[in-house]
Amino acid sequence: MTNTTISTDDSMMTLVNVFSVAPEHQQELVDVLVEATDGVMQNMPGFISANIHRSTDGRHVVNYAQWQSRAHFDAMREDPACGAHMKRAADLAEFTPIVCDVVHARHV
């Protein structure tokens, strides 16, 4: 398994999903997203990566995810197994899924 890399060269789709959560539910939300990633998402066609981040203030969780294409991402969202996990996440937090492209990458 390689690491996730961020680059403007790739044709992949990036999803930045920002969850707003009460601090007392942050760990539970992390657990739900890790379970969804390892149990379901990583086996879906077109999955490249998912990277779960915990905010230091306790109020957010961010998933930085990559899919081969928008079509693969949309197909995943129609899958009942994925839907069940996302329902659990939605019960714990509000979320803003942002579908985006990398337009500039600078690394020292």
Please report, as ranges, the residues that interact with its own copies according to CB under 8 A.
Answer: 1-7, 14, 16, 18, 30, 33-34, 37-38, 41-42, 47-57, 60, 62, 64, 70, 96, 98-108
Min CB(59)–its own copies separation in Å: 8
What's the one-letter identity of residue 17?
N
Burial class (CB in 10 A: 0-12, 13-18, 19+), 1: exposed
Alpha carbon separation from 79 to 63, 66, 108 (Å, rounded): 19, 17, 40
Q: Tokens representing 20?
A: 């707003």
Minimum Å gap between C-beta 38 and its own copies is 6
Shortest Cβ 52–its own copies spacing (Å) = 4
Whichever of 37 and 76 has its CB closer to its own copies, that residue is 37
